[in-house]
Structure 1
C-alpha cells in the first residue's frame, strides 16, 4: 500500500515520516508533496491508498485537495494534520470522508490510531471492490455461451442438473451456500420494433444489454443472476438465491433501471421458491403460465404470479371461445360483404372488452382457431384447389401478421383489424377461385359440346384443362347435379334425338354420329334415359 504526505513544510513531512510506524500498518511506499497541486499529480500517477495532508498550504489549499479527492479519487482515505483548530475545517473534513483531524504538534499515538483506522477501512473496501469486480467478470464475462448453456440446462435437463450446478458453483456463478432459489421469467416483446431498432436490429445485442442491466442490480446485492434462456428465443431468466431477497421488490427496482435506461418497463412471471436445482422446471412452468394468463387490459401490473386462490381467466371467459363466432365469421366471409365482415370482426373484440379480461394465452388460442377456420372453409368451398389457395394466403399473411399475443402495446383495435383483414382476404380468395372454377367448367362444357361426337374421356379432358378428374367430377356434380359421364351421355342422347328426325339416317349411323361406337350400348343408354328404345322413339315421331 502507498501513502502520500502533503505539507508545504519539509519539517512537518519529516515528522510524519518518523512518527508513523509504517511497517506495522503494512505501508511499504511513502511519497511526499509540497503542495496541493503537486499532490494531485502524484495521486493521478501513483494512486496511493492513504493521504496525510495539511489544511493550509501556499500552493493548492487543503480544502481544494479534499474536494478533488472526494470527487475524483473517492477510494483514497485521508487524514488532516493542521495547526488550526477551526470548526469549519473539521466539518469539511468529515463531510468529504476524512478519517481524522489531528492538531499540531502531532501526537504519535493519535496519528498511528488514525492511520490504523484508515488502512483498515481501505483494505476492507478494497476487498469489496475486488469481490465486486470478480463477480462482475463472472456474471458478464465468464464464458457467456457456456454459462448460459449450463444455466439453461438446470431447467431443460434434470438428468444433468446436479453436474451443471456443481460446475456453476466451481465457476463462481452460483454461490456455494445457495440451496434455495426463486425464478423470475422476463418475456421480451418480439413486436417492439422501436426498441430493437435502437440496437441496430440486433436482438442478441438487445438481450446482452437487458441482461447486464438485470445483473447490475443482482450483483449489487449479490442476490442472483440473469441469463438468456436457451429454451426460448425471447426469454431471460433471473435466479434469485438470497434467502432474504424480496423478489417482487427486486424486480420493481430492475424495472426502474430498465425504464431509466431503455424507457421500457417489462413483464416478469415468478414461481414459488424451491430447492436448487430440481425445483426449477416447475418454477419456470408456473412463471410462464403466470405470464400467459396476465390480463392485458391492466397496464399497471408488471410482476405476475399464479398464487394461491388466484382466478383462472378461463373462468371469466366462460364459453366464449372461437366456436361462439365461427358461424358468423363463415357467413360473413361467404357473403363477401364488407359490412358483414367488419361487424363480425368487431363483435368478438367487443365481447372480450366487455368481459374485462384478455390474456396472451387466450389470444394464442383464438389465433390458432382462426387459422384452422380459414383452412377448413377453403377445403369446404374449393376442395382440391384449397391447397394452392392456402399457400397464396399464407404468403399474404406477411402483410397481415396477427399481433403478438404478449405485446406490451396491447390494443383490441389491432386484433379487430387483423381479424377483419383475415376474413377480407379469405372472402376475396374464395370469390376469385370460385369465379375461376365457374369459367373452367364453362370452358369444359363448351369443349364437350364441340367434341361430344369424339371418344371423350374424363382423363383426356382433365389433361386438356390441367385439372384433376376428381375436380371435374365434383364441379359437375355441384353445377348440374350429375356426374360428368351422365352429363355427356345426356348431351349425346339429346343430339341423337334431333338427328332421328331425319328418316334417311339409320339408328346405327345416328349412334356413331353422337359418339357411340356400339349401337347396342347406344340403345341401352337411350332406353335408360328416355324410357323407350331408339326404334320406338322414331316410330313415335312418324305417327
Structure 2
C-alpha cells in the first residue's frame, strides 16, 4: 500500500510515519509539507492508496488538496488530520470526498490501523463500482464447479484451466466460506470483494459461488506466503471484512491444501460436508473422529428403523414418536452427519405419514404433513432442525391419536401385509388369502374400518413412499414408479397428481426449490 503524509509540522509527519510503520510492514510512505507539494507527488504517483493530510497549511490547504485529488484521482482515499477547533473544516472535507478524520491530540496506532483498513475498503468499493461485468463472469464459473463435482473422474487440470489458465494443480489451497444472509450486497459484489482483497495481498485467487451461500476460493500462492500468513487468522480477518462491507456474517469456513491433483474432487466434497458439519454443530474445528462413520452411529439408525416398524405395526404412535425424538437427541450427541440424520428422519417421517389414520380419507392432511416434513430438510443448524422436527412430530401425533381407529385383527394384519408388499403386484385376492377371508367380505370390512377402499389405500401408500424416494434418492421417475409397485409410469403420474395435486416432476422441483441455490 502506498501512502502520502501531508503536514507542515515535521514532527507530526515523523510521528505519523512511525505509527504507520508499526501498523503494517509492507507500506511505501511518501511525505509532503504542504498541499502544493502533495499534489505534485500525487500526479507523479497516481497509484496512491491513501492520503493523510492536515487542513491548515501554506500554499495549498488540505481542503483545496482534497478537492483537486478527488476531481483528478477519485480512487485515492483521503483521511483528514484535525484539531478540536477544526471541526467545521472537517465537515467540509467530508463533503468534498474525504473518507474519515483523525484527531491529532488523540492519534494512536489504533487510529492508524483503522485508517489503513478504511483505505483498503474504499479501494475495493471503488473498483467494484467500476467493474459492472466482472461479477457475472465470476458467477458463471460456479457452473463449472458444480459440473466438476457431479462428473465422476472429471479432469482436474481441465477444470482448473477453465476457471483460470494461471491456476495450477500444484500447491493449490482451497477455502470455503458459508455466508449467513441477508446481505446488503449481492453475491457478485461479495465475490469481487474477496477476489480483490486477496489480490491486494499478492495472492492469485479465483472466487466463485457454489451456492448462493457457499463461496469457494482457489489459491495457488498461499504456500509462498505461509511465513507471513496463518490461514485461520488471515481468513478470520477476511470474514470480518465481509461482515463490515457486505452486511452478512460468515457462519462457517474451512480450508485445505491439495497435494495431488487427483484428490481435488474427493476433497472438495469432503470440505463441503465439513463446512455444513461445522455450521450445523456450531464448531470452529472438526475432529476426524466426529466425521467418521462409527459403529454406534450405524447401530443408532438401524435401531430407529426397527423401533418404528415395531411400533407402527401395532399402531403405537406415541412409542414411534418417542423413538424418533430419541434418535434425534442421540444422533446429535454422537455428532452424526447432518445428511444422515436428515435421510433417516425423512424415511421415518414418510412411514409415519403412511400410518396416519387421517391420511387415507383427507388429502389436505397429507399435504400438511408433507409440508411440515419438507420444512425439516436443508436446515443449517441442529437447533433449527430439532425445532422443525418437533413441529412435525407434534402435529402427526395429534392427528394420529385423535383419529386412531379400533381395527379388527384381520384389517390390522392387512395393513402390515400392505406395508411389507406395496412394491409388488398386490391384489385384493392375495390379501384375502393372507387373512383367510372371503374377497367380498374383506373389501367391505376394509372400507368400513379404514374409511377408504383397498385400491385407493394401496395407491395412497405407494405415492407416499414415492415421495420418500423423490426426497431421499436420485432415482429416475421411471425407477421410482417401478419401486413403488406401478408397472406403468403414465399411470404412476396420473395417480401421483390425483393424490398430491402435482406431477412427480413438479413435486421434485418444488422440493428442490427449498434447497440453497447457486
Q: Which of structures 1 and 2 has the larger relative contact order (alpha carbons within 8 angstroms, sep 6+)?
A: 2
TM-score (norm 2): 0.49
